[in-house]
Amino acid sequence: MTAVRFRITAVRFRITAVKFRMAAMAFKTRIVTLEMIAVNIEMAAD
């Protein structure tokens, strides 16, 4: 029983890690998009 419970916990932990990684990637993408917009504004200002 303990081994099964441990396995379930490990799977849940892995799912959480994947979700966290996806969220981090989305956040990075958003920052890069903002940076690109800022660069476009700077280039347009020149």
- Report angle CA 46, 27, 20 to the nearest 5 degrees: 170
Distances from the Cα of 42 to the Cα of 28, 31, 32, 34, angstroms: 21, 16, 15, 12
**d(Cα 22, Cα 29) in Å, to the nearest integer?**
10
| pLDDT confidence band for 16 (50 / 70 / 90) | very high
Q: Average pLDDT, stretch 32-40?
A: 95
What's the pTM value of the predicted model, to 2 decimals? Answer: 0.59
pLDDT > 70: what percent of the chain? 98
Specify the DSSP class assigned to residue 5. Answer: H
**d(Cα 15, Cα 32) in Å, to the nearest integer?**
26
pLDDT at 45 over 90: no
Q: Average pLDDT, stretch 4-17?
A: 96
| pLDDT confidence band for 46 (50 / 70 / 90) | confident
